[in-house]
Structures are given as structure tokens and as C-alpha cells.
Structure 1
Amino acid sequence: MKKILYAPDLQAQVAAVLVGAGSSPEEAARVAANLVLANLSGHDSHGVGMLPRYVDAVLEGGLQPNTSLRVVLDTGTLLTLDGQRGYGQIVGEEAMALGISRAQAHGSCIMTLSHAHHLGRIGHFAEMAVAQGLVALHFVNVLSRPVVAPFGGADGRFGTNPCCIGVPLRGREPFVLDFATSRVAQGKMRVAHNEGRRVEPGTLIDEHGHPTTDPGVVVVPQSNGLFGALMAFGEYKGYGLAVACELLGGALTGSGTWHQPTDPAVRAVFNGMLTILIDPARLGTQATFDQEALAFTDWLQAGPVAPGFDAVQLAGDPERSYRKQREQEGIAVDAQTWQEIVSAGHKVGVTLSN
């Protein structure tokens, strides 16, 4: 049975646990709002279900509450930033605020962010940029447990390594493409496992390298103590993009790449992110950009709709639709995930209702 909570109540309960884990009320409110926004957007994988892992990461010392961004280098159009293991929702927003201001001043900004704890839904940062009329590109790596197999490989060697592109559309809702380079996000496997669901064939391999539809193989250790792995989307193409995210988000940023055996006891999740911000107005192409972008998206959506679909959508449309629905109907949290959240609260002296 699922528990239905409305966003304000859910946010308040998550914030209470974060305060119990050591965050200031302001930080707790911002992190909780970000997590709930992910749920509202239809991405339960990046929502409040992450809270138990955050609490464990704080308790083990990997996540540092009340930590701000450190500026390592600032040349105006180049920013090198260190998240210092702070909440990704906090240092990520701080980084984007700096990057946006530099892009507005100079026309563009290339920004690296290293050592941020889990950044959450990367689309949130693209939404910050497009709201200011900027194009945004993000390449992210994940230092946690290697849960994705390389094309032709039989075990996990890297993370879900998301890629995100945000493009403003004058007078319209923006194009926000945000996706893991694995066929599905790891968090979606946690949700499926907690709900007792199987997943689509072709998504996973088990700890022996054989295809499986059991999401538990990447959520809990199997009989031999090993994990299975997610597959990259698009075979060698998605695999290639995942490697690019590791090299750009991990190596180029100085955040580090994955090249060590897994330690399932470690709960912290670290992200490195390369961000490129472009101001079309300063580039001198604003008028053509606006005209052509709208002409193309109109062309896409003016075509016939395939059987089984209601409309031709653009990236960002599903999230906006989910927000409207879930703001009205509430957010469903499965019983297992809610129990994990309650247990996380108990670890830091906070009692939530079951």
C-alpha cells in the first residue's frame, strides 16, 4: 500500500529529518524542497527516497552538512569550483548562480564542480539556466558503487553518469533533456525493488553477467556478495556517452573517476559536473535562434500522432505534466520506502508517523 502525501507536508517531514542529521533549518528546507520537486516532476528515483542514504552518508562522515562551495579559480568565463562534500542540492545551486552571473556578464561560462554530494535531478540546474534565457549543457559522473556495465562487459564499472541539455524557447516552456546514460536510473531500480516489481528485459544483468528482470540485483548484495549491473542505453552509443561523462564530469573537473573495487558499506554518493552556459543574445544569434527553434519544435508537433500516444511531446513536457497532477493529487510513496524514511528519522532522533 502506498502512502499519499501532499508536497508541503512531505517537505516538512523530510526537512525535520535533515535538521536531525545536522543541517541548519534553512539548508534542510532547501534540500527537502529539491527532493520533493523531483517527486513532483515524476522522478521518484531522485526524490525523498534518497533521504535514508543521505542520513547514512552524514553518519559515516561522507556528507558534510552546512558546507558551502569553494571557488578554486574564477577568470570570469572559467570557474573551477569545489563542493567540499556538501549537499549537492546546495552547492549545485550555488555553482549555477555563479555560472549564470558569469554567462550574463561575458556571454558564456565553462564551469567545473567537483566533490559535490549527490546533486539530485540535474534537470533542476538546467531549469535555473533556461529561466535566465541561457542554453545549458551538463556532463556528470557518479562516484558511488559502479552499477553500469560497459558495452561488451559483464559487471558494473561506472555510474549512471547523467547528461542534461537545457534550451530556452521564447514564449514557450523550455526544452530540458535530462537522462541517465544507463537504460534507467539506479534510483528507479530501488523504487521497483521496494514495490516488488520486475523491470523491462534488456535493462539488467545479474551478478554472473546474465540477463535478468529482477531489480534487486543492483539494490542488495546477491548470494555471493556481488551485485548485478545496469546496461547502458543504446548499446555502444550510450556507453560512449557514459564514458564521455566520466571523462568530462570526473577527470576534467578534478572530481575523480571510478577505478576501484566496490565497497557496499559506503553510502556517500559524489558527483562531478562540467557545465557549459551560453547566452544566445551575446552570441549574436538570438533572433535566428528564436525563430528557428520555434519553427522546428512546431514542425515536430504538427505531425501525425502515432497509435498509443496522445501527442508528440518535447523533453520537459512529462515533468511539467507530472507536477500539475501531483500538486493536486499528492505524491505516492510506497510502504517500503516510507518505512526506510521513518527508520532514517529514528537514527537521528526524529519520529515520523508510519
Structure 2
Amino acid sequence: MASGVSPEEIVLSEGEVLALARAFLMAHGLGEAQADAMARTLCAAQRDGCTSHGLQRLPGTLDTLAHPAFNRHADPRPEAVTPAVIRVDADYGFSILAAERGLPLLIDSARTLGVALLAVNNGFHSTALWPVVEEIATHGLAALSMNPTHDWVAPAGGTRGALGTNPIAFAWPRPGRPPYVFDFATSAGARAEIAQRRQRGETLPPGWGLDAQGRPSTDPAAVLAGSMLPFGGHKGSALATMVELLAGPFIGDRTSRQSAAFDGGVKAAPCHGELIVAFNPAILAAATGDSEAAAEDLFARITAQGARLPGDRRYAARAAARRTGIRVPKALYERIRSLTPPQT
């Protein structure tokens, strides 16, 4: 047993985690291209210690596959609406494949024009945002991504859901280093984390949510049945509203309320849009100075105080996983295996 691995865990290689996820998805009828895209993203999250967005999400994909609108064989094709605007209809499959297929056009446009945006429509979304913005940043571009979810979150001062958890991710390129990346929900806590705390029998920090009667609660089950709260009060509420508008009406897709109505009680992953914007710092910076040096000076001033840059913990977990393997709870591994029917 590897050092520090508990008896309740097993250690797998990256290839084994990919194969586990891919086999599960394809055994349940998901097309090869979608299965590959989902497996890569779930594996990346598990590898980087983001377990709430890793293999834990696999069993829940069965609810999404059961949605009457879900398309197991979706084949999204990107189209250039204008030189700076790319659209990809996910065709009611998982949105990650549509996002990946739109990236080459987005990256080329941003390099040439300075800024470009990618609108992903009609996608069932259940993965983290950071893998996509990190990929964009490896091409020397900054990136911003956001999407609505379901109306699980009460606005600041409210008592019932009106907003989604509405994550925002951002990446900045760093020559010779991994990009600066953050990815967080505009709710006080991610819904997946609340679900994990319920499974572990833990309570929530105060200020994370309300019960079904609109009263503050630290019980994960009560909050999941009631409503979550935005982080930072009115500030998080305003950011969540911005995400609703930019990744909803702006790109011709659903708000969190409309996404929940579309679900129809199936409890699938939210089906909505995603907005991804790429920026080329070199175009404007070429006329004003060395943007790379200025950015690195900023990062150095943060870390010199002992503060951690967002993403550093993930990069450390990634390096450790590549040395010693990826840890997976035995119970989760066995559940995934038991839910994977043999392929004929």
C-alpha cells in the first residue's frame, strides 16, 4: 500500500481511472466521443484532488442519461457566427464535448482578433469549468467561463431559490509555469460539496443555506431540500445574476429557473448554456509594456506573503498523483464497477 493511503482507498493510474470512467459510460450507451470527453474531465478532477467533480459524478450520470431529451449520440459541430463569435449546439448531449470541439476556433479567433467568445447551447453540464480555461491558457491566452445551473440558490435577503450556483472560472497564462486558474461557485458552497458532507454525516458552516421554510440551517439534507445561499451576501448574488444573464439570455439559452423546469423532476444534470471568452494579452500589451512581467510581479507579491494562489493545491495534487497514482475510495470504485454492465 502506498504511503499515506488508507485501507478505505485504492490507488489507480491515470490510464486506469480513464478506462474505468469510459467503460462505465459506454456500457450505458453513451457514444464514444462523449464518453471520451467526459472520462477525461472526470479523471482530471479526480487526479487533481477535486473529488466532488471527479468519479463521484459517474453514478449520477445515469439520471442524466434517463432524461427524455438526452442524446447519447450527440455530435456537436462548431460554427463561426462572426469572426469573433463561435457557437456550438451540444445537441442535448454532455456539454464538455461541445466545448472541446469549439476550442480550436475560439483560440484561433482570439489570437487574431484579441478577443473571441464561444457559446455552448443545449448541453447537460456536470463537470468543472477549470479544465477548459486551463487548456485555453496553455495557448498563451486568458480565459473566462461561466454557466447557470438550477435555481437552487436564494438571492441575498430572499428565502427561496431564484439563482443557480453559477460558477465562474478564469485562467491567465504563465510562461514556463502552469496557468493561474480559479473556478468557484457563486454560492457559499458548491452543491456537490454539500452532498459530500451529507454522505459523511457532517454539518455545514453557518451561512451556506436555508431549510424548506427559509430558516438558516447547517444540516446538509435540509439545505438540499431548501435553498443554498450566495457567498458574500449581495455581492455573490449580483455575480450570480450576471452569470444568469450572460450565459442565459445573452447566448439564447436557459436561465437556472428554466433549466430546472426543463428537468421535469428527473434530477438530471442541468441543461443550459455556457459562455467561454478568450483574450489575447499580447495584442494590447504590445503597445503598453511587458504584461508578463507585470503579472508575475503581482503573483510574486501574493506568494511572498505566504498566501496561496488559486490552483496551486490542484497542481500539487496533480504532481503527487503522477508520482504515486490517483486515490479513489474503495466504496466508490466498487459501486462504479457494480453499475458497469458487461459490454457485448
- In the superposition, the TM-score normalised over structure 1's length comes to 0.85
RMSD: 2.3
Alignment of 1:116-195 (within 5 A): 116-118=123-125, 120-142=127-149, 144=150, 146-195=151-200
Match of 1:102 in 2: 109
Secondary structure at the aligned position of 2:59 is classed as helix
Q: Deviations over 1:311-352 (max 9, x none)?
A: x211111111122234425323373x556535643xxx349x
Match of 2:221 in 1: 216
The 2-side partners of 1:213 and 1:118 are apart by: 27
The 2-side partners of 1:214 and 1:343 are apart by: 30
Deviates more, 1:156-165 or 1:51-60: 51-60
Match of 2:3 in 1: none
Q: Deviations over 1:117-137 (max 9, x none)?
A: 115111111111110000111
Q: Are the counterparts in 2 of residues 119 and 271 from structure 1 also a CA contact under 8 Å?
A: no
Deviates more, 1:124-133 or 1:283-292: 283-292
Match of 2:299 in 1: 297
The 1-side partners of 2:330 and 2:244 are apart by: 32
Matched, 1:67 2:68: no
Match of 1:254 in 2: 252
The 2-side partners of 1:193 and 1:62 are apart by: 30
> What letter matches 1:249 in structure 2?
A
Distance 1:196 1:49, change over 3 A: same
Matched, 1:92 2:90: no
The 2-side partners of 1:173 and 1:5 are apart by: 25
Pick from 4, 12, 27 the counterpart of residue 19 of structure 2.
12
Deviates more, 1:94-103 or 1:160-169: 94-103
Q: Are the counterparts in 1 of residues 95 and 120 from structure 2 also a CA contact under 8 Å?
A: no
Distance 1:343 1:190, change over 3 A: farther
Q: Are the counterparts in 2 of residues 202 and 211 from structure 1 also a CA contact under 8 Å?
A: yes
4+ runs of 1 displaced by more than 4 Å? 260-263, 337-340
Pick from 17, 23, 43 the counterpart of residue 50 of structure 2.
43
The 2-side partners of 1:119 and 1:93 are apart by: 15
- In the superposition, the TM-score normalised over structure 2's length comes to 0.88
Match of 1:274 in 2: 275
> What letter matches 2:309 in structure 1?
L
% of aligned pairs identical? Answer: 27
Pick from 175, 198, 206 the counterpart of residue 201 of structure 1.
206
Secondary structure at the aligned position of 2:87 is classed as strand
Secondary structure at the aligned position of 1:14 is classed as helix
Distance 1:90 1:3, change over 3 A: same
The 2-side partners of 1:192 and 1:204 are apart by: 13
Distance 1:322 1:241, change over 3 A: same
Match of 1:223 in 2: none
Match of 2:286 in 1: 285
Q: Are the counterparts in 2 of residues 12 and 29 from structure 1 also a CA contact under 8 Å?
A: no
Give the deviation of 1:296 after TM superposition: 1.4
Q: Are the counterparts in 1 of residues 129 and 146 from structure 2 also a CA contact under 8 Å?
A: no
Give the deviation of 1:67 after TM superposition: 1.6
The 2-side partners of 1:75 and 1:30 are apart by: 27
Secondary structure at the aligned position of 1:241 is classed as helix
Q: Deviations over 1:149-181 (max 9, x none)?
A: 111111222221011111112333211111110
Q: Which runs of 5+ in 1 are unaligned?
A: 220-226, 306-311
Q: Are the counterparts in 2 of residues 70 and 84 from structure 1 also a CA contact under 8 Å?
A: no
Q: Are the counterparts in 2 of residues 17 and 350 from structure 1 also a CA contact under 8 Å?
A: no
Q: Are the counterparts in 1 of residues 217 and 223 from structure 2 also a CA contact under 8 Å?
A: no
Match of 1:313 in 2: 308
Secondary structure at the aligned position of 2:267 is classed as coil
Secondary structure at the aligned position of 1:324 is classed as helix
Matched, 1:331 2:327: yes
Q: Which runs of 5+ in 2 are unaligned?
A: 1-6
Q: Deviations over 1:172-228 (max 9, x none)?
A: 321111111011111111222222222222212111112222212354xxxxxxx21
Distance 1:97 1:193, change over 3 A: farther
> What letter matches 2:240 in structure 1?
A
Distance 1:179 1:285, change over 3 A: farther
